[in-house]
Amino acid sequence: MALAMELPFLLAGGALVGGLFGFLLDRWLHTKPWLMILMGAVGFAVGLRDMLKRLDKSDSNDAGKSG
């Protein structure tokens, strides 16, 4: 149950942190909105990768407990 509550925050958090970092870089380098979009997508991809790793880890733990 805790894993199911955590997973959406991984995706949203990654995209938000990446987007914020990109926004700050955009302001500094005057490249609006390209770095915000790029870094938001990278943050989303990292969050997705982390979510898949945690799901795989959870599945392997569950398989060991049921056997």
Domain definitions of the chain by residue range? 12-50
Q: What is residue 46's predicted lDDT score, i.e. its pLDDT?
A: 96
Q: Per residue in 3-48, pLDDT tens?
A: 889 989 999 999 999 999 999 999 999 999 999 999 999 999 999 9
* Residue 31 phi, psi (nearest 5): -120, 25
Q: What is residue 44's predicted lDDT score, i.e. its pLDDT?
A: 97
Q: Which amino acid, residue 21?
A: F
DSSP H helix total and E strand total for the chain: 2, 0
pTM for this structure?
0.84
3-class SS of residue 6: helix
Kindly report the number of other CB atoms within 10 A of residue 43's CB atom. Answer: 22
